[in-house]
Structure 1
Amino acid sequence: MVPGRHLLRGVRMSGESFRVDLRGIVDILSHHLYSSPRVYLRELIQNARDAVVARSESDPSAPREIAIEIEDGGAVLVRDSGIGLTEEEMRSVLATIGASSKRSDFTRVRRQYLGQFGIGLLSCFLIADRIEVRSRSARSADAPTLSWVGNSDGTFTITSAQTPLPDAGTEVRVQARADDREWVEPVRVQLLAERFASLLELPITLRTGAHAQSEIVSTRTPPWRGSGLEATAWCHRELGFAPLAVLPIDVPTAGVVGVAFISDSPGRVGNRHGDTVYSHGMFVADDNVQLAPNWAYFVRLAVEGGDLALTASRESLQDSPAIGDVKAQIGTQLRQGIEHFALSDPVGFDRFMDVHAKGILAMAAGDDDMLDLVIGHVPWETSEGTMTLAQILRLSDDVRYTTSMTDFTAFAPLLRAKRSLLVNGSYVYGSEILRKVRERRGHTARVRAFDPHAFLDSLPEPREGGAEARGFEVHARAVLERLGVDLDLRAFAPASTPSLFVAAGDDHLSQLADDGAEADPWAGLLSEPEASPARPRLVMNVTSDAVRSLVHVRDERVRAEAISGLYVIGLLRAGQTLDERHGELLSSTLHTLITAAGGGE
């Protein structure tokens, strides 16, 4: 008695096999494995290709041919010059679900095969109730031609073929059901054959009717093997756009090779279109999202999957540690490719930035890899002109940024005159990016949020003047009071800026929050926060000729109108939108000044 095995005394036990409901299996394939009945043609081409490769291993001089024909009456024939099948192999491969001749006979070249699951032929039952196979084995010169006929009810027969094949190989005939004839229509078969087999290196011919000429649907040049123009043409034909750039992809450790196309349209940030993946030249999918990093939303890959294993449906790649390694290497190569693109084609790279800058900023707000790209290549408006953050950090040890377009417009000339650098961070995601740059080691002391009120308070006040100056100040305050604006007299460069409007509010406080991160953590509890100005203010530059001239104007009406004009100029320089009231002020000012200049009343 075998230890651990318990038998019931007097009970007779029999060994039995599971029963398989083939129709149920086909239903499972249809609803849970394959995405569409169209895969039947891919499986037939794949099996034919594997058979040809297998024969070439034992006989390199053997013909390497696959032919597809469409018969009248709704049947498709796929004929190959491959290894063929013996009677025993027909039983073990064609009639055993889950079997595959690639598992044993051809293990040493297994990676050259596309199919490894032995269920491919069953996909034909998605459109047919009957599959006919004629095959002649290449293992012996006198091998007979055998006929295998399988039915969707799970039965099959093996007999000697009435019409022998002239040489080794296999012919599969699939007769579509009446309600599935659409899958064997000539136009559809041609589209599917070109889709699945266009990059296979074997010559595959297609004849769409008894009187039609055969045409080759394979042996096309993959985009990663052709010239740049050929890759661009492939992208336009297959993906529907003209790429801004074509970047090479090569991960030799996994046999992965391909190209990355940079899209010519912005797309949706964080929502990558799928990539096109092939396996040994056979089309796998055009919606794959396993190989490119999420930040590369503007990239579409076309790659040969090499040694990466396929799922049972062969419509995607198996998730594995190898996938993660390949994805990381592709991400590195994309960044390097973009760097090279920037250096080798500045004009093209400018187009790339015009299209994708906003999206790149959005991704960089949460991705450090993209942040490096932003620092090195995204242009920013500054008080010293347009430059990248890398250039900014090389140029200045004291970088200030503002997230207010109004503040940038108003203060950029002043900081330029003081030889300080102000960065316009008012763009979408600008503040997040600049804060992340500031948080990087070594940049905390160099990158600061700009505080307009503190900057104005640091400007020198004018020296105490005579009675005329004091009289002008009193008059100016009265005029601005009627406009709801405070007066602030300062002396600053450039003198060409006579006035500066500063809006009320605490907008600057949010961008200063990070600056306070390194301060005493108890300061906020132990001291009163400094109150921001309750009202907007007009800063008049006493070094400006226009302001200095007003001190000596004796006509109070003219002087009042001129002060109102300086207020409107301040609004314009700050980028404020003028309303109807401001338009009336400006019109009144011009009328008064023109009349005074002409000597009129």
Structure 2
Amino acid sequence: MTDSQEYRFQVNLGGMIDILSNHLYSSPRVFLRELLQNATDAITARMDLDPSHRGEVYVELAGSGTGATLLMQDNGIGLTEEDVHEFLAMIGHSSKRNGTELLGETSFIGRFGIGLLSCFMVSDEIVMLTQSAKGGPSIEWRGKPDGTYSIRKLDAALSPGTKVYLRCKPDTDFYFEADTVELDLLHYGALLPYPIRLSEGGRERRINGELPDWIVRPERAAGSRDEVLRFGESMLGERFRDFIPLRTSTGRTGGIAYILPHAVNLNAKRSHKVYLKRMLISEQADNILPEWAFFVKCLIWTDELQPTASREHFYENEQLERVRCELGESIRSELIAMSETDPKRLGRIIEMHALSMKNLAAEDDEFYRLIHRWLPFESTYGNKTLGELLDERRTLYYTASLDHYRQLRHVASAQSMLVVNGGYIYEAELLEALPRIVRGADTRRLLPEDLSLAFTDLNAEERSAALEASRAADLALQRFRCRVMLKRFKPEELPALFTLPEEAATLRSIERAGEESPQAFASVLGSLGGSMQSGAGSYSILYLNLNNPVVQRLFMGRPTSRLGTLVEMLYANALMMGHYPMSRQELALLNTGILSLIDWSMESEKGE
């Protein structure tokens, strides 16, 4: 047996910094976020020792160009010499020791280690001075991107806390400019509960303001409406008119969901700002709320979610799923409360964001029951809310597709039938479910035979006069498996209406697919279609309107040898009017018919 030996991985620090710069972090500017996060964790840890402690962060800029330097100082817990060796020499090492957190409830990534390495993206050396609040000597630590570092004890004692010095390396001076630093400090630290001060050119100013109490307790936001709306505009860059407070059951995640003042596409990219322990983690978080909540833009703060290594997103785990569900429940509960206390407000929101509301209603019967009256629908009675349609006290016929509605709306409207367009997403599902939500509601999917019930049959004399022509017309369309039926219906301007029973629609789809498929697959589809052709339900119906002057003349006037061609043209016209896709045979029929009409017209002119 061969003896085995164990070896330790060698860490190439330069390679890691390249990975951080080009793959892990979105921009070198995150070095300031990491320093600010380190300071935040250190202050939190010191407050665990002394709850009366008041933290603060001080940033100082000096020099310009490649000679610029940046100092970030915090009055947090600081590090002992043992901490320095343990945390700064072992990249990726946890800050837990013996099952306890040394630096508050954070991971090592959040305190030093990888986070501190981000500073090498803008500086060729990191100098850190630190004094532990637990005692011991003050320590100076110097790190370089080649993986070397030095430590020395200082003779003079510093105040508890940590100072980090960075000197600008070539081509990174932009990140040391005062305007950039001020903007980034506010960007990442606007919600920190202690002051961040920036000193530059002899001028010192506070970056972040005092936090209002509704940041800690979002349920109080309603009492500061104007302030909350102004805050949302300053943080999210849009002028809002309404909002919903957010809070989880643990109280460890909260925020404000601002109602977007404009309609958005269902697939629009979501962009919420999320803060972890009051530090900005992401301004484009797309998985913090349920999919249906795309009508809000949020500020969210949490201390219970786990960030990814880049600290720009959260891990998709059970904890995130729970928070997502509870934030969604906050929105849902507020909308339900509006239906009882402020229905006009709810109506305005639903009118602007109907699609999202229909999505939520389709998932939640209780929500649907409470807001159904404000949901808008298109119908043959105009664009109305579902409540207005229900007030008609009539059967609500609905179509399952937009094409179906477009095909039938003019005829249905002329017969005074109330038909609702169920062709848009969620609408047919909602209309089908309405009877179980609203007692006494009667909804039915519109079938061709429902519409034909409103048509008037021919009397015995008319049937007798049109018998031969009807048979000839029926025979002309046999090759298209279409039967002709003479009726009287409105509007009289419409000469013909083409309808497809379900089986006929299936067969028609199979035949169209066969025309567009490779030969082998087409033969399979042909066999499948052949097995369906024998039933009566496989036939479509062309209703010809005897109220129409052209149809009246064709069937009740002098017999014509061209009846078959003219009926074929009415058939092709009905297909186009109904937006039905046409087969190759039907397109050829249309082409031939148009040429025949041109030819007849020219012959007629010669005869004159």
Superposition pairs for residues 8-157 of structure 1, below 5 Å?
8=3, 17-72=8-63, 73-101=67-95, 107=101, 110-111=104-105, 115=110, 118-140=113-135, 143-157=136-150
Change (3 A) 1:332 1:504: farther
Amino acid at match of 2:149: F
After superposition, what is the alpha-carbon deviation per residue over 1:131-181, rounded to whole angstroms, capped at 9, x for unaligned? 1111122213xx43221111111111112337652x211111011202111
SS at match of 1:121: helix
Structure 1 residues 43 and 364, CA gap change in structure 2 (3 angstroms): closer
Change (3 A) 1:307 1:243: same
**Pairs within 5 Å for 1:388-467:** 388-389=385-386, 392=389, 396=393, 398-402=395-399, 403-404=404-405, 407-408=408-409, 411-412=412-413, 414-415=415-416, 422-425=418-421, 429=424, 433-434=427-428, 437-438=431-432, 446-450=442-446, 455=451, 457-458=453-454
Kindly state the Cα deviation for residue 198 of structure 1 after the two structures are TM-superposed: 0.8
Query: Aligned partners of 1:275 and 1:160: how far apart in 2?
Result: 45
Q: CA-to-partner distance for each residue in 1:41-92, whole Å, 9 max, x for gaps?
A: 1111111121122222223344422111112131111111122222222211
Distance of 1:48 and 1:135 partners within structure 2: 12
Amino acid at match of 2:444: R
Give the secondary structure class of the aligned counterpart of 1:506: strand
Distance of aligned partners of 1:116 and 1:502 in 2 relative to their CA distance in 1, 3 Å threshold: farther
Shift of 1:380: 2.5
**Number of residue pairs matched?**
494
The 1:186–1:116 alpha-carbon spacing in structure 2 relative to 1, beyond 3 Å, is closer
Paired-residue identity, %: 28
Q: Please give the residue correspondences for 1:513-552 in structure 2 after superposition, counting only pairs within 5 Å.
A: 526-527=535-536, 531-533=540-542, 535-538=544-547
Who is 1:337 aligned against? Answer: 334
- Across the aligned residues of Structure 1 and Structure 2, the Cα RMSD in angstroms comes to 4.4
Q: CA deviation at 1:28?
A: 1.9
CA distance in structure 2 between the partners assigned to 1:42 and 1:276 by the alignment: 15
1:194 to 2:186 alignment: yes
Residue in 2 that maps onto 1:589: none
Q: Tell whether the 8 Å contact from 1:249 to 1:330 is kept in structure 2 after alignment.
A: yes
Contact 1:206/1:216 (8 A) holds in 2: yes
Q: Deviations over 1:523-553 (max 9, x none)?
A: 985435565235455379xxxxxxxxxxxxx
Tell me what 1:161 maps to: 154
- Preserved contact between residue 99 and residue 117 of structure 1 (Cα < 8 Å): no
Q: Distance in 2 between matches of 1:508 and 1:399?
A: 21
Per the TM alignment, residue 277 of structure 1 is displaced from its structure 2 partner at its CA by: 0.8
SS of corresponding position for 2:105: helix
Answer yes or no: is the 8 Å Cα contact 2:58–2:73 preserved in 1. yes
Tell me which residue corresponds to 1:562: none
What amino acid does structure 1 have at the position aligned with 2:118?
S
- Counterpart of 1:320 in structure 2 is 317
SS in 2 for 1:115: helix
State the 1:196 CA deviation: 0.9
What is the alpha-carbon distance in structure 2 between the residues aligned to residue 242 and residue 531 of structure 1?
54
Q: Could you say if the C-alpha distance between residues 126 and 447 of structure 1 is closer, same or farther in structure 2, counting changes exceeding 3 Å?
A: same
Structure 1 unmatched runs, 5+: 1-5, 417-421, 478-485, 491-496, 515-521, 541-573, 575-601
Query: Whole-Å Cα distance in 1 between the matches of residues 127 and 84 of structure 2?
Result: 12
Q: Does 1:174 align with 2:166?
A: yes
**What is the identity, as a one-letter code, of the residue corresponding to 2:396?**
V
1:295: Cα distance to partner?
Answer: 2.2
TM-score normalised by the chain length of structure 1: 0.70
Q: Which amino acid aligns with 2:302?
A: G
CA distance in 1, matches of 2:360, 2:496: 32
Larger Rg: 1
Cα distance change of structure 1 residues 25 and 380 upon mapping to structure 2, 3 Å threshold: closer
Conserved 8 A contact 1:410-1:500:
no
**Whole-angstrom distance in 1 between the partners of 2:321 and 2:75:** 38
- The answer for the alignment partner of 1:266 in structure 2 is 263
Change (3 A) 1:241 1:510: farther
Assess, with a 3 A threshold, how the Cα gap between structure 1 residues 507 and 261 changes in structure 2: closer, same or farther: farther
Superposition deviation, residue 462 in structure 1: 9.3
1:182-236 per-residue CA deviation (whole Å, 9 max, x = no partner) reads 11111111111001111011222112x1311232425444764642222222222
1:412: how far off?
Answer: 4.0
Kindly tell me: are residues 508 and 341 of structure 1, through their superposed partners in 2, closer, same or farther at Cα, counting changes over 3 Å?
A: farther
Residues 60, 364 of structure 1: alpha-carbon distance in 2 compared, 3 angstrom cutoff: closer
CA contact (8 A) 2:272 2:286 kept: yes
Kept after mapping to 2: 8 A contact 1:398/1:447: yes
Hey, what's the Cα distance between the residues in 2 that align with 1:63 and 1:92? Answer: 27
Aligned-residue offset at 1:279: 0.9
Residue 311 of structure 1 aligns with an amino acid whose one-letter code is: T
Q: Name the SS of the counterpart of 2:228 in structure 1.
A: helix
2-side partners of 1:198 and 1:525: how far apart?
Answer: 73
Say if 1:441 and 1:182 are closer, same or farther in 2 by CA, change over 3 A: same
Offset from partner CA, 1:257-291 (integer Å, 9 cap, x none) = 11212212222222332221111111100111122
Which residue number corresponds to residue 565 of structure 2? none
In the aligned structure 1, how far is the partner of 2:246 from the partner of 2:349?
A: 19
Q: Within 5 Å, which residues of 2 pair with 1:177-256?
A: 177-207=169-199, 209-217=200-208, 219-221=210-212, 224=218, 226=221, 227-253=224-250, 255-256=252-253
For residue 533 of structure 1, give the secondary structure of its aligned residue in structure 2.
strand
Q: 1:244 to 1:370 in 2, by over 3 A?
A: farther
Tell me how far 1:317 sits from its aligned partner. 1.0
Gap regions ≥5 residues in structure 2: 470-484, 507-530, 550-576, 578-608
Q: Give the Cα separation in 2 of the matches to 1:65 and 1:314.
A: 22
Q: Which moved more, 1:53-62 or 1:339-348?
A: 339-348
